[in-house]
């Protein structure tokens, strides 16, 4: 029963984590972050830190796995946004 729950959670984790990879790749490749919102990236990054803590607190393997990788992706997007920012 719990395995089935964790399968859905794991699938969710894989999808929302994988989702940011084409975005990171596209932004890195095109050096264009113009239509990404800076407040979005900042708030999202802080939020992912909180989700990671929550995942640890409620002992959810899917959340810990997903949010660790998403933390890296969102850090990269934030870095790109600041680096590629138009003057």
Q: Which residues contact a copy of itself (rule: CB under 8 A)? A: 5, 8-9, 11-23, 25-27, 30, 32-37, 39-41, 43-44, 46-48, 50-51, 53-54, 57-58, 60, 62
Helix, strand and coil percent figures for the chain, each rounded to 5: 85, 0, 15
Tokens of 80: 């790109």
Please, which residue, 28 or 87, has the CB nearer to a copy of itself? 28
Please, which residue, 34 or 83, has the CB nearer to a copy of itself? 34
Secondary structure class of 5 (helix, strand, coil): helix
Shortest Cβ 52–a copy of itself spacing (Å): 8
Shortest Cβ 82–a copy of itself spacing (Å): 14
How many angstroms separate the CA atoms of 47 and 67, rounded?
10
DSSP letter at 60 equals -
Shortest Cβ 87–a copy of itself spacing (Å): 17
* Residue bearing tokens 């959810």: 60
């Amino acid at each position: 029963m719990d395995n089935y729950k964790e399968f859905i959670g794991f699938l969710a984790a894989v999808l929302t984590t994988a989702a940011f990879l084409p975005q990171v790749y596209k932004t890195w490749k095109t050096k264009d972050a113009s239509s990404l919102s800076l407040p979005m990236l900042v708030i999202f990054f802080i939020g992912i830190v909180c989700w990671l803590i929550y995942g640890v607190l409620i002992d959810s393997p899917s959340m810990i796995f997903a949010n660790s990788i998403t933390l890296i992706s969102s850090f990269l997007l934030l870095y790109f946004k600041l680096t590629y920012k138009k003057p």
